[in-house]
Amino acid sequence: MDDGSGPGDPAAAGSRSRDAGMTDSSSVAPAFDTKLYADGITFEGEDATLLRAIDDAGSLNAAVETLGRSYSRAHKRLSRLEEAFGSLVVSQRGGTGGGGSALTDRGRALLTRFERLRSGLSGVTEVAETVLPGEVIARTGEIATVETAAGRLRALAPPDAPAMFVTIRADTVTLQDADAAPPAAETSARNRFHGTVRGVEHGESVVTVTVDIGADRPLVALITDRSSDMLDLEPGAAVVTSFKTTATRATPRNPRE
């Protein structure tokens, strides 16, 4: 965990050395079960979860508390990952604002690459997810209304937890042209946000679309080639995103101090 000034972009991936390893696509490669490799070290799902938690909580200490993990083990794991993939987290100590941690550009790029690879697996065995932190403002049985940076949404949620991580699977998100989308009352997908397409990545038969909906991270949608062609999607396009309450899951998190 250093100043994050190392060269390269993890999304471009590289050879097996720490620095050169992030500039060539030959060795940071996905395995079938969604893993990235560099310098003999494997980056997998639990590592991605740790980086997301650090990004949300603002420190490694708060992240491991949220995840219920050992600080010592998480610190050692992060150090090993950085030996292979380069600087992923930058730490600040003291000062008027106190200490904290944040992902470096390299860390964000590595996490983005991992999430994109999950949606592009053969047979689509896994798909990318968007995870949004939020606060519960209302409940009706098993359904909670959660206030997020993007706005309010409804999700299936466990009881008695005021703070939540809301997980939205990319394959449950529907995209529509902003000028042609039906009124919200005419659809069964009550979670609905207006957004702007940030990126479009074509696979063999599916397309991964990232959409800025006003949150800290974009919403990821997985659609077919045909749907993409019909919508004529490109960066900057205005769209309406929607997803059903019953396809949206919320899990407890420790509120940020």
Domain boundaries, the chain: 10-119, 129-252
DSSP conformational letter for 218? P
Range 10-119: architecture per CATH: Orthogonal Bundle (1.10)
d(CA 96, CA 73): 29
Q: What is the mean pLDDT of residues 158-176?
A: 90
Give me the mean pLDDT over the 43-67 stretch. 90
User: Which helix (H) or strand (E) segment is 104 a member of?
Assistant: none
The one-letter code for the residue type at 52 is R
Name the CATH topology of 129-252.
Answer: OB fold (Dihydrolipoamide Acetyltransferase, E2P) (2.40.50)
> By mean pLDDT, which of 116-125, 178-187, 206-215, 231-240 is the weakest?
116-125
How many residues make up the chain in this entry?
Answer: 257
Q: Do domains 10-119 and 129-252 have the same CATH topology?
A: no
Fill in the amino acid letter for 80. Answer: R
Q: Is the pTM of this model over 0.85?
A: no
What letter does residue 256 receive in the DSSP assignment?
P
The whole-number pLDDT of residue 94 equals 53
The least confident of 10-24, 64-78, 200-214, 240-254 is 10-24
What local confidence, expressed as pLDDT, does residue 97 receive?
44
Q: Which CA distances in Å does 209 have to 95, 115, 213? A: 40, 12, 12
Q: What is the pLDDT of residue 180?
A: 83
